[in-house]
Homo-oligomer: A and B are copies of this chain.
């Protein structure tokens, strides 16, 4: 949560950074940045958008006028479920929202009875290592988001990319000084096979090492990664890009 506030504090500079580009295509962009709440995002999600089976609890546009933090979380939750297309919706018309499947998880029966909270566009960006970024734009007034969306869908993606890349660059610079532990070749190899479900003995056979040596490397890797066990080691290593990169 501190991290979230920290990210939010950086937003003004980022907003300024993309403002020019945003103005160029006629949209007042709001840069969104939030932590989804890993490793237990569902606990939050259950408590907020899902616990009360109401349409408004998955509606970032509604939340935007009530709780900005919740709005950002919903924006990212939405973005995380989108792949290629930016997302838009205007009052009543659900746009590409259906593809997020978020609506399937709540009670939509009162969707048409909810008041009009304006129009919105969410441009999702997926980055290496499972990171998700988004540009979230929201308007209380009906401005006819559909033609704007159709015209500038491509630019939205590029804006989101630049925004998130800029933000990450600024954020990673101080952070890399503290946690840039590098893993040795053997440690990475052992981790990869461990991630594949192999036991220490099997890994030893595969890599022509003794069981003791495999355990030695995995323990070293866990220590470097600050993990308590092999499961967490693999998770952290995957987050750092050492294991699990696959082509689409």
Set B33, B85, B126, B133: member contacting A128, Cβ < 8 A = B126
A219 part of interface (Cβ distance < 8 Å):
no
Chain A 74-90 interface 0/1 with B at a Cβ cutoff of 8 Å (1 = within)? 00100011011100000
Q: Name the distance in Å between A132's Cβ and chain B's nearest Cβ.
A: 5
Chain A 123-139 interface 0/1 with B at a Cβ cutoff of 8 Å (1 = within)? 00111111111000000
Set B42, B161, B194: member contacting A157, Cβ < 8 A = B161
Copies of this polypeptide in the complex: 2
Give the complex CA separation of A84 and B131 in angstroms.
12
Chain B residues near A247 (CB, 8 Å)? 33-36, 76, 80, 131-133
A58 part of interface (Cβ distance < 8 Å):
no
Set B125, B193, B231, B245: member contacting A80, Cβ < 8 A = B245
Chain B residues near A185 (CB, 8 Å)? 42
Q: A192-B40, A231-B194, A231-B195 are in contact. Are A161 and B84 (CB under 8 A)?
A: yes
A209 part of interface (Cβ distance < 8 Å):
no
Q: Nearest chain-B residue to A245 (Cβ)?
A: B80
Give the complex CA separation of A167 and B83 in angstroms.
12
The reply to whether B130 and A36 form a contact with Cβ atoms under 8 Å apart is no
Chain B residues near A33 (CB, 8 Å)? 247-248
A243 part of interface (Cβ distance < 8 Å):
yes
Closest 5 CB pairs of A and B: A197-B232, A84-B165, A131-B248, A133-B248, A39-B196
